[in-house]
Amino acid sequence: MSQNLRDGYGMTGYYADAALVRLAHGEYPDDCWGKSCTTYFMECDYKSTFCTREELGKKNMLPLIWGEMPPDHIPSVDDYAVIVLWENGISRSFSGEFMAVDHPALKPYVKIEKELTASEYDAWLKKIKDKC
């Protein structure tokens, strides 16, 4: 993860081993095995958007996005899978073995296309609230 991205999102001090970062980008460095990476954020679905931290654990459901789930199982709003990032939530770790891609035709990636403007952000909050 680049320093600028890390600092820009308030993740100063967050660290991921360089070999695991390379593995996450499709390489297979020899020194990635046996290492693990801990998430900075707790990833939840859009239903958690208007919850407080206390409510998350009391609603008889924890709307976590699991690494094992297929992307098409992430609840969507207007055909966009929406993931809400919570600071100081449940910390999860992933080993290099968990992050390896089992088939060479699979090319997983995450791309941040742009940051939403304030009006776009407000429009998304309204869409999510209407769906909840």
pTM for this entry? 0.77
Distance CA 88, CA 90 (A): 7
Give 38-80 pLDDT, tens digit per residue.
Answer: 988 889 999 889 888 777 767 656 788 988 888 899 999 999 9
85 versus 101: which is more confidently predicted?
85
Structure tokens at 84: 């809400």
pLDDT at 127: 94
Instruction: Give the number of C-alpha atoms closer than 13 A to the C-alpha of residue 74, restricted to the C-beta side.
Output: 18
